[in-house]
Structure 1
Amino acid sequence: MTKVTFYQKNGVVIGFDAWDHAGYANAGEDIICAAVSALVLNAINSIEAFTSDAFTADVKEEDGRIEFRLEQDNPSDDTTLLLKSLILGLQGIENEEENMQYIDVIFEEV
């Protein structure tokens, strides 16, 4: 199961981790993994291209992990909107009945 944990401080998302393989299909054919990867990477690339917020991002291919952390606790409105869009997309996948066993979106206050 793919898990995406969003880290919040006072209700504001300041980072996330996405990891593990969904198990929907074989590697290279797993549409859940592909969708999650596309949404996550697009969000990171959009934050880099369209905002001035500093962040770190680390991809660990061996365990299918992407770690993203903002360097400040008060992201811009643009970054906040992009992260909300990411959450909307991931929850849209998660809320489809046939996908619930393959993805879990989690929120953790830090």
Structure 2
Amino acid sequence: MIDAVIYRTKSGAIHSFAISGHAFFAERGQDIVCAGVSAVSVGAINAVHALTGITPIIDHDEDGFLRCTLPEEIQESTYEKVQLLLEGMVVSLQTIEENYREHIKITFKKQEVE
């Protein structure tokens, strides 16, 4: 199962997210759940960078682990754009979860950061 954890600040903004595991929906290379989650999460990171100029801090490996953390200092107007892009990612991941509950689980956690 793919585990997606969305970390929010006390005020509810997305601070980071981590995705790990495998969907096991189909064979490697044929797994539409894995492909969808990868496309949505990597696409969101790419959109944040391309559309706002913000470069998130990324950690990943070949086993399906991806962590994305926003840098500390982001101007307010840019921060709002970044949040909109990341919230769009969450909506897309939730849509995948609604259709493939046995293969992906999304969890939301509050961080102490603000």
Report if TM-score (shorter chain) is over 0.5: yes
Number of residue pairs the alignment of both structures matches: 107
Return the alpha-carbon distance in structure 1 between the equivalents of residues 104 and 39 of structure 2.
14
Return the alpha-carbon distance in structure 2 between the equivalents of residues 68 and 58 of structure 1.
7
Q: Deviations over 1:42-87 (max 9, x none)?
A: 00000011113342012211x2101100112767111000000000
State the identity %: 32
Unaligned 5+ runs, structure 1:
none
- How large is the Cα RMSD of the aligned pairs? 1.4
Deviates more, 1:25-34 or 1:75-84: 75-84
Instruction: Indicate yes or no: 2:66 matched with 1:66.
Output: yes
SS in 1 for 2:16: strand
Return the alpha-carbon distance in structure 1 between the equivalents of residues 24 and 61 of structure 2.
18
Aligned to 2:92: 89
Aligned to 1:105: 106
SS in 2 for 1:76: helix
1:80 alignment partner AA? Q
Please tell me whether the aligned partners of residues 53 and 76 of structure 1 are also in contact (alpha carbons under 8 angstroms): no
Unaligned 5+ runs, structure 2:
none
Q: Report the structure, 1 or 2, having the larger strand content.
A: 1
Please tell me whether the aligned partners of residues 7 and 108 of structure 1 are also in contact (alpha carbons under 8 angstroms): yes
Please tell me whether the aligned partners of residues 6 and 16 of structure 1 are also in contact (alpha carbons under 8 angstroms): yes
Return the alpha-carbon distance in structure 2 between the equivalents of residues 41 and 35 of structure 1.
10
Scaled by the length of structure 1, the TM-score of the pair is: 0.91
Instruction: Indicate yes or no: 2:35 matched with 1:34.
Output: yes
Please tell me whether the aligned partners of residues 45 and 56 of structure 2 are also in contact (alpha carbons under 8 angstroms): no
